[in-house]
Chains A and B, each alone.
Chain A
Amino acid sequence: MILVILEHDGQRLRKAALEAISRARQLSSLGPIAGVVIGENTQAVAQEAARYLPAVYAAEVGPYTPEKWAEAAHAAVQKSGARVVVASGGRQARTWTARLAYKMKAGLLEDTLQTSTDGQHIIGTRYSFLNRVTERQQAPLPVVFTAKPNTTPLAEPEGSGAVEALEVSLPGGVEVLERLSEQKKGVSLTEATVVVTGGRGLGSPEAFAGVEELAGALGAAVGATRAVVDAGWRPYGEQVGQTGKTVQPNVYIALAVSGAVQHQAGMNKSKYIVAVNKDAEAPIFKIADYGIVGDVHQVLPALIEAAKKLKD
């Protein structure tokens, strides 16, 4: 039996949940698949999930804590007898899946790009060493793994399943006092096919007007480096890198970004990398496909013009 933890926003399944279902289906030689919806409004979301899976548990546990999620997932594991658990790999999932793996005495494969089975093990591919190395890992069943977002085709509905409420004894210890949501505007950074990132070399928060204009002309999302976020020029939600978001767009345009390894960890798998930097020795040029060696204050307005002309 395989158990999929289905991510949702309280109303609908997220895309990541459909990716996780696809991952589970790829392992169907290991047995049937069940799903679990954890959190709030789980009955309604589980009804949607039942269009994809033969059996769906709904664990109504209230707002997120890693303890509750791990406990609910574990209850579903015990109920279903699952020996493989598939979850999507955001920050939160990578916290509670570690708790779950420990409860199950299972091997944990984190942030996998691909997964397969030989009947006894799960074999997963993933990045390591700040996204520089690609490695294949293997663990004997039972296994918990997380699937890196945007790596797997979305599952299509298939049959119709049954929904069952799941009783979970709720662990305490953490009380949520305040939620601080991120204001989102424009294209989602992690899903964008074009990303335009500004670095400290832009010199001021005002200069980001140009970055936004170029992004607008290209239908791109805006990214930022840590230097820029630390300076308070841009919100943390836009940061790309080791401690920010990981992106893998068709083209990543880095404007006045030096290209520190911690930044590269969030963007080095982009299909094409473009850099504008006045320093020809900047590390970003070593991983760039195209670049302009020049002053961003002169090049950026010209780029905006050229991009707008292209659209007309």
Chain B
Amino acid sequence: MKFIAVIRQVPDGESRLKIEGGKVDLSGVTMILDQMDEWAVEEVIRLQEKHGGESVVVALGPERFEEAIRTALAMGIDRAIHLVAEGYTDPITQAELLAETLRAEAPTLVFTGGQQADWDSQALGAAIAEALGWPVVSWTTQIELEGETHAKARHDLDEGAEVVRVALPAVFTSQQGLNEPRYPTLPGIMKAKRKELKKVPVSASSKVTVLEQTIQERTRLNKLIDGKDPVAAAHELVKLLHEEAKVI
């Protein structure tokens, strides 16, 4: 069996974003393996540990993605394929590019993150599934293989959740609760340096263009009240909300 995680590198949510010339400027920002993709990587490794076979990561993005790929290899993934493309391409176009590689790899299943922490997109997993003609299960919180042909999975809906049986190969996207990702160990990091990382240059024209990005943070009032006298503080807060903000 072969299990593939499709991963991306994104800015660490904790780092400050700035805008240069109407676009987000990522220079100087700490970049990490997307935490929702990390769940996908962890699940793929666990499936391999349980069922044998191979674990692979595939990434589509600029050179800098290599760092995130190394993190996945250090966690325990066997090998990686990096489709190297600079600039923004929308998830639908990305799916088209990724599908070619994924089809050739012929995996048992593909896992990716439920939502991307940079573009806030939820589309990639489903678009890959469509490109391959496979079913998709999004926001997966539990997965269990039933032989090589089916998987039983639990996943979130708009409201509530459901349990489905899905024919393999299929695409799954991750959700909180799926697993607790392991940290790369030092030997893992050393080993990752010798693992196969195949780079393939690709190019595509995006269907979607980002015209302008801004950071429109509301200016917050930052009125802090000392809570040493809780009754007085609560009274003042409720008064402010009622009379100044007029929201209660």
Contacts and interface: CB of A to CB of B under 8 A. Distances in A.
B166 to A, nearest CB: 5
Contacts of B126: 66, 94-96, 98-99
Nearest to A88: B158
B166 A174 contact: yes
19 contacts: A65-B135, A66-B126, A102-B131, A106-B207, A107-B208, A108-B90, A108-B208, A127-B120, A129-B117, A134-B216, A135-B214, A137-B209, A137-B210, A180-B163, A242-B117, A268-B217, A274-B237, A287-B217, A302-B231
Contacts, number: 275
Interface stretch (B42-50, B192-200, B238-246): B238-246
B138 A91 contact: yes
Given A99-B136, A134-B215, A290-B223, A243 B114 contact: yes
B51 interface: no
Interface of B: 11, 13-14, 17, 19, 24, 36, 90-92, 95-96, 114-115, 117-127, 129-131, 134-139, 152, 154, 156-167, 170, 175-177, 207-218, 220-228, 230-231, 233-235, 237-238, 240-242, 245, 247-248
Interface in A267-312: 268-269, 271-274, 276, 278, 280, 285-295, 298-299, 301-303, 305-307, 309-310
Given A261-B14, A298-B227, A107 B238 contact: no
Given A67-B135, A181-B160, A98 B212 contact: no
B92 A102 contact: yes
A250 B245 CA distance: 9
| B contact patch SS | mixed
Given A134-B215, A178-B162, A289 B223 contact: yes
A130 B207 contact: no
Contacts of B208: 107-109, 137-139
Describe A's contact surface by its main secondary structure.
Answer: mixed
Nearest to A241: B176
Contacts of B221: 289-290
A251 B120 contact: no
Interface string A56-98: 0000000011110010000000000000000000111011111
Contact of A135 (B127, B212, B227): B212
Interface residues of A, number: 95
A111 B120 contact: yes
B160 A182 contact: yes
Given A273-B220, A303-B238, A99 B127 contact: yes
Contact of A272 (B114, B159, B230, B245): B245
Given A107-B92, A182-B160, A194-B248, 11 more contacts: A66-B138, A91-B156, A134-B213, A135-B210, A135-B211, A137-B210, A172-B167, A178-B162, A285-B224, A290-B223, A292-B226
Contacts of B223: 289-291
A306 B238 contact: yes
B237 A130 contact: no
Nearest to A178: B163
B18 to A, nearest CB: 10
Contacts of B120: 110-111, 126-131
Contact of B230 (A193, A218, A294): A294
Given A90-B158, A91-B138, A129 B17 contact: yes
Given A128-B120, A174-B137, A98 B91 contact: yes
Contacts of A310: 238, 242, 248
